[in-house]
Chain A
Amino acid sequence: MVGIVSFLCTTAAASENLPKGNFETGLFQPLRYGLSEKIEIGTHPVLMFFIPNLAVQKHHPNWAGLALASRHSLFVPTPLLKMVTKKGVGGFISPEFDVPLMIALKNEIQLKRTLNDSWILSGTAGLTLAYCSKKLDKRTTIDLPVVFPRLGVFYNGYGINFRLDFSGTLLPRLDLLTDLNVLLLPGMEEGFAFEHKSLLTWALSNRTDIQIGYKLIFGEYPFGVQWHLLPLLDILWRW
């Protein structure tokens, strides 16, 4: 579950594409591959068996002096949700309900401004479209932070997100990423979530980073509103 939460937390446009031919992966973050200087593809190889997922990020020509990128990702949570729809321990969804085929397509546009040698500010807007082969019973929601607003698109049909990222180098070998993220499910009663993440990345070597941070979440849920503070931890490898 930690891995899945981390995967959901980090399926966002990366500030920089990987160089062509390069790979990067984390314990929890997806495997990324630089297909070309402008195109990167990504998937989480382990979670692929539970949540089939694929992402493509493309850098476009600059616009108004700002770097422009788009990210398009697809994920299918059906196999994982079917696994956790069960009696007994591990049952996140009651087995009295059916989980249909569910597919989500997320599209984001990112504009990036380089502030100075070390710091970058970027803004992202996204639209997620969701398809279910059958209408989902609202009692199947998993009312947990990170999970609820992202699976909420399947109950609402679509969702919108806005994100502001601030990243850069604090010290040699120590980078910081901090972001503010708003997720909206227009028309849904519990349709607002705000997330703030800060991640420190320490370069252990040229090929290995360790990341540690937190995610602060305010969300609307079927039971009301709640704040959550979650730890984030990952190790990244590049080759």
Chain B
Amino acid sequence: MKPKHSLIRTFSTLGLMGFVLLSCEPLVTEFRDIEDAILYESSSKTNIQNSPDSLLVMTWNVRFGAARIPWFGDSCGDRVIMTSGEVVVHLENIADYINNIQPDILLLQEVDVESKRSGYVDQVRWFLDNTYFNYGAYASMWQAQFIPSDGLGRVDAGNAILSRWEITEAERIQLPLRTDQDGLTQYFYLRRNILKTRIDVPNHDFYAVCTHTTAFATDDTKQKHIEMFYETISSIDTNAVFIAGGDLNSVPPESTTDYCMSDICSGESFHQAGDDPEHKEGSYFYNFVGEPNLIQPFYTYFNSAIGVVDASLESNFTHSPWNTDEESENYTDSDYWDRKLDYLFSNQPLKEGKTHQNQHQLSDHAPVSAVLGLP
């Protein structure tokens, strides 16, 4: 029998060594270039069509269930943290609309799954439990135990795809980080991605690809994101069918590129000598040569829900920041939106393309849908 001192020393040393080997979750998650996305499945399935000849597809940036609240980061507001009750009410309104329109495939952006700002509601799970969708996939673009800024705290937000049919493969493809930020800001900032899924649509090799490209970069990051999105969908087997889209944060060719003065918040100044920044981040679409025409290749080589000519019409605008004249009696639906940032493309014909401008309180983005004809 070893002396007591020796036993105590031995166990203490082993204990220390054991705990040193424990791995820790990082403060901010830095993703690999390509990795599996997270798959979800509804606890109660709804019936699905065996052999559809067309699909209703939709894309929607749901603004993490914030509806039209004056959130600090994307509108001239002071709100940061919602209550879970508040978020659920907003999600219920979104779900009601989805359940009314009944898309077969839904591409979602700005979905929170574990964020303090949205009451830690897992919104992918919530949508599966409160709509007819059976399967989901999620790719985080911002996952941190704690963001020490503006009271944000814990955050996990990203892109999601919901489907009636089983999602058999789901891949998260990392997009380049912004290079116009200092190292510390870049570390805690978003890591945008492309979510590429393969869906078991009967009798078809079917892909759904969703992305949300950079909104606020002032360098050429957006070009890299759009080009990578284009390459991703171009590399899909030509015999397969794909629907691709999302919030590309780019205006259609030949569109207005400067929204600085319409988006300006109280106390801000732009376009004046000495202003730094000269343009408001996220409101200016000519940061580099060629930015206004970034989307052109998609119109050239793919089918789109809204044609390139119609894309510049007010009736197809999909976004505006907080509008202080909400629900004005003098407004039409189009008055709530002032630019188009959301798109749907496919290698198959898209018909009945529609921008759902009538729901202007559910998010700062309007959904876009189309009917995808299956070969």
- A residues at B contact (CB < 8 Å): 85-97, 116, 118-119, 139, 142-144, 168, 170-171, 176, 178, 198, 200, 214, 216, 222-224, 226, 228-229
In the A-B complex, list the 10 residue pairs whose CB atoms are closest, starting with the nearest.
A94-B151, A94-B80, A139-B81, A223-B120, A91-B150, A93-B151, A91-B151, A89-B149, A94-B81, A229-B24
Q: Which of B142-175 contact A (CB under 8 A)?
A: 145-146, 148-154
- B residues at A contact (CB < 8 Å): 4-5, 8-9, 12, 15-16, 19-20, 22, 24-25, 72, 78-81, 83, 114, 116, 120, 145-146, 148-154
**Is B24 a contact of A228 with CB atoms below 8 Å?**
yes
**Other than the known A92-B151, A198-B19, what 18 A-B pairs have Cβ atoms closer than 8 Å?**
A87-B72, A87-B150, A89-B148, A91-B151, A94-B150, A95-B151, A96-B79, A139-B116, A143-B116, A143-B146, A143-B153, A144-B145, A198-B15, A214-B20, A216-B19, A222-B116, A222-B120, A223-B120
A228 to B23: give the CA distance in the assembly, Å.
Answer: 9
B-side contacts of A85, CB under 8 Å: 151
6 sample A-B contacts, Cβ–Cβ < 8 Å, listed by A number:
A95-B150, A96-B81, A143-B154, A144-B146, A216-B19, A228-B24
Distance (whole angstroms) from the CB of A1 to the closest CB of chain B: 8
B-side contacts of A214, CB under 8 Å: 16, 19-20
**Is B148 a contact of A176 with CB atoms below 8 Å?**
no
B-side contacts of A224, CB under 8 Å: 114, 120
Distance (whole angstroms) from the CB of A152 to the closest CB of chain B: 15
A-side contacts of B12, CB under 8 Å: 170, 176, 178, 198
Set B79, B150, B153: member contacting A142, Cβ < 8 A: B153
**Is A168 a contact of B22 with CB atoms below 8 Å?**
no
B-side contacts of A143, CB under 8 Å: 116, 146, 153-154
Distance (whole angstroms) from the CB of B70 to the closest CB of chain A: 10
Distance (whole angstroms) from the CB of A197 to the closest CB of chain B: 10
A118 to B12: give the CA distance in the assembly, Å.
Answer: 14
A119 to B83: give the CA distance in the assembly, Å.
Answer: 50
B-side contacts of A226, CB under 8 Å: 25
* Chain A residue nearest to B156 in the complex (CB): A223
Distance (whole angstroms) from the CB of B12 to the closest CB of chain A: 6
* Chain A residue nearest to B22 in the complex (CB): A229
**Is B8 a contact of A168 with CB atoms below 8 Å?**
yes
* Chain B residue nearest to A212 in the complex (CB): B16
B-side contacts of A176, CB under 8 Å: 12
A216 to B23: give the CA distance in the assembly, Å.
Answer: 12
A97 to B22: give the CA distance in the assembly, Å.
Answer: 37
Distance (whole angstroms) from the CB of B276 to the closest CB of chain A: 16
Decide: A96 near B78, CB < 8 A? Known: A144-B146, A214-B19, A223-B114: yes
**Is B81 a contact of A223 with CB atoms below 8 Å?**
no
A118 to B3: give the CA distance in the assembly, Å.
Answer: 13
* Chain A residue nearest to B20 in the complex (CB): A214
Set B9, B20, B145, B148: member contacting A92, Cβ < 8 A: B148
A229 to B19: give the CA distance in the assembly, Å.
Answer: 8
A200 to B24: give the CA distance in the assembly, Å.
Answer: 21
Set A88, A170, A178, A229: member contacting B149, Cβ < 8 A: A88
Distance (whole angstroms) from the CB of A34 to the closest CB of chain B: 29
Set A91, A139, A171, A228: member contacting B148, Cβ < 8 A: A91
B-side contacts of A144, CB under 8 Å: 145-146
Distance (whole angstroms) from the CB of A171 to the closest CB of chain B: 8
A87 to B149: give the CA distance in the assembly, Å.
Answer: 7
A22 to B114: give the CA distance in the assembly, Å.
Answer: 49
A228 to B24: give the CA distance in the assembly, Å.
Answer: 7
A-side contacts of B114, CB under 8 Å: 223-224
